[in-house]
């Protein structure tokens, strides 16, 4: 029946998300979910919204959520866009801001959804190799381009670039949009948010999925100049005018307002990242410095594919990207202390 498909669909190679096992008693360190889950205030707000109000469409503009984000980040509501997960926000970004004649640029090793969106929206792109130690060198992006997208911290490496370096780069790149995907910024990198007042071609994309333990609620957002936001609103209102449902809007607002819970859980994750790093280093792993809620690590002698398989046999999931340059690395999510200890024990056994 594929003869009925639109021609473009035949050439699509969709993104493959990390596995979500049906089995419950798995230690899941493969998709960078937050082990602490959402704030109880967010859950209470979602419960309160679970009522007859679901008969009604949500606010198409999610005004209360934009106001909460603007307040939390010290910007204006007109500088805020919201969507159904940052994956959807990114789709609108690729569609609405990155379709130009010149190719867009992103690193050879980064979030693997970017090339998928380029194929879907038929956007030419070029990848820029990370340095030998997996760092982004912004000087490599100082050339004609139709736009640039960088994850900061980068995935799956966990390495971050400094806000000053981004500001410096933006001074020399004024003719195209620069997207900074800050999915993991809560765990130690510097946000570029305060630069959106200075640079009208900067868009910062964020999500509650990892930072606020709400991957299941699907709430993402973007900060930028009102003219960039307007482009995203035009695309969104030509696609789905009600992307965020009532439960998502209520839960997201409460999660953002519960600063105390956010601070406490992100600190715990940063502390456990150190524990995970020392444990791995003691077992002869090289661990890249991480500003995210995962580490990118390679064992000095044992192949990553072998380790991933042996861990899976022990009901521990980690992510292995079987591609040139990353084939020897595992990306391991920072779980709870107990989960990290179980991983350390399993690796000790496997390597013995």
Interacting stretch for ligand PLP, rule CB under 6 A, among 49-57, 84-92, 165-173, 188-196?
Answer: 84-92
Interacting stretch for ligand PLP, rule CB under 6 A, among 17-25, 85-93, 167-175, 283-291?
Answer: 85-93
87 in contact with ligand PLP (CB under 6 A): yes
Strand partners, 106: 127
Q: Strand 330-333 vs strand 319-320: parallel, antiparallel, or unpaired?
A: antiparallel
**CA angle (295, 296, 301) in 5-degree steps:** 125
Report in angstroms how near the CB of residue 51 gets to ligand PLP at its nearest: 26
Determine the Cα–Cα distance for residues 67 and 338; give it in Å rounded to an integer: 38
Which residue, 18 or 344, has its beta carbon nearer to ligand PLP?
A: 18
Which residue, 209 or 290, has its beta carbon nearer to ligand PLP?
A: 209
Which residue, 160 or 183, has its beta carbon nearer to ligand PLP?
A: 183
Structure-token match 């919204």, residue found: 49
Which residue, 111 or 199, has its beta carbon nearer to ligand PLP?
A: 111
The alpha carbon dihedral of 295, 303, 324, 314 has a sign of negative
What x/- string results for residues 291 through 330 when contact with ligand PLP is judged by CB under 6 A? ----------------------------------------
> What tokens appear for 330 in the block?
């595992």
Instruction: Identify the burial level of 34 via C-beta atoms within 10 angstroms of its C-beta, where 0-12 means exposed, 13-18 middle and 19 or more buried.
Output: buried
Which residue, 215 or 340, has its beta carbon nearer to ligand PLP?
A: 215
334 in contact with ligand PLP (CB under 6 A): no
The alpha carbon dihedral of 207, 208, 209, 215 has a sign of negative
Q: Decide: 256 and 70 in contact? Cβ < 8 Å.
A: no
Report in angstroms how near the CB of residue 215 gets to ligand PLP at its nearest: 5
Q: Which of 35, 85, 188, 335 binds ligand PLP (CB under 6 A)?
A: 85
Determine the Cα–Cα distance for residues 90 and 149; give it in Å rounded to an integer: 10
Question: What residues numbered 194-233 form the site for ligand PLP, per CB under 6 A?
Answer: 207, 209, 215, 220
What x/- string results for residues 152 through 171 when contact with ligand PLP is judged by CB under 6 A? ---x----------------
Which residue, 90 or 346, has its beta carbon nearer to ligand PLP?
A: 90
Q: Which of 30, 34, 39, 86 binds ligand PLP (CB under 6 A)?
A: 86
What x/- string results for residues 102 through 141 when contact with ligand PLP is judged by CB under 6 A? ---------x------------------------------
Length of the chain: 352
181 in contact with ligand PLP (CB under 6 A): yes
Instruction: Identify the burial level of 165 via C-beta atoms within 10 angstroms of its C-beta, where 0-12 means exposed, 13-18 middle and 19 or more buried.
Output: middle
Determine the Cα–Cα distance for residues 53 and 63; give it in Å rounded to an integer: 17
Instruction: Identify the burial level of 301 via C-beta atoms within 10 angstroms of its C-beta, where 0-12 means exposed, 13-18 middle and 19 or more buried.
Output: exposed
Q: Decide: 254 and 47 in contact? Cβ < 8 Å.
A: no
User: Which residues are near ligand PLP by CB under 6 A?
Assistant: 85-87, 111, 151, 155, 181, 183, 207, 209, 215, 220
């Amino acid at each position: 029946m594929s003869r009925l498909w639109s021609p473009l669909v035949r050439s699509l190679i969709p993104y493959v998300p990390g596995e979500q096992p049906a089995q419950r008693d798995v230690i899941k360190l493969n998709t960078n979910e937050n082990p602490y889950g959402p704030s109880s205030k967010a859950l209470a707000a979602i419960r309160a919204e679970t009522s007859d109000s679901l008969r009604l469409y949500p606010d198409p503009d999610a005004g209360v959520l934009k106001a909460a984000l603007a307040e939390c980040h010290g910007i204006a509501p007109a500088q805020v866009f919201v969507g159904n997960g940052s994956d959807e926000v990114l789709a609108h970004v690729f569609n609405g801001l990155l379709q130009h004649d010149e190719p867009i640029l992103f690193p050879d090793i980064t979030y693997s959804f970017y090339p998928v969106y380029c194929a879907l929206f038929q956007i030419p792109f070029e990848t820029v190799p990370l340095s030998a130690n997996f760092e982004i060198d912004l000087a490599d992006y100082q050339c004609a381009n139709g736009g640039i997208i960088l994850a900061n911290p980068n995935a799956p490496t966990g390495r971050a670039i400094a806000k000053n370096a981004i500001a410096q780069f933006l001074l020399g790149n004024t003719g195209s949009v620069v997207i900074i995907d800050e999915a993991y910024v809560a765990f130690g990198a510097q946000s570029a948010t305060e630069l959106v007042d200075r640079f009208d071609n900067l868009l910062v994309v964020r999500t509650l999925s990892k930072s606020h333990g709400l991957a299941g609620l699907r709430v993402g957002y973007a900060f930028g100049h009102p003219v960039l936001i307007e482009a995203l609103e035009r695309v969104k209102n030509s696609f789905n005018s009600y992307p965020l449902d009532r439960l998502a809007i209520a839960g997201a607002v409460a999660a953002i307002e519960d600063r105390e819970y956010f601070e406490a859980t992100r600190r715990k994750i940063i502390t456990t990242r150190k524990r995970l790093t020392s444990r791995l280093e003691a077992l002869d792993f090289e661990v890249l410095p991480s500003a995210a809620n995962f580490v990118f690590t390679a064992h000095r002698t044992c192949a990553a594919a072998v380790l991933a398989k042996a861990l899976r046999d022990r009901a521990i999931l980690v992510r292995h990207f079987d591609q040139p340059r990353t084939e020897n690395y595992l990306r391991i999510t920072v779980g709870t202390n107990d989960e990290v200890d179980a991983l350390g024990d399993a690796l000790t056994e496997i390597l013995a």
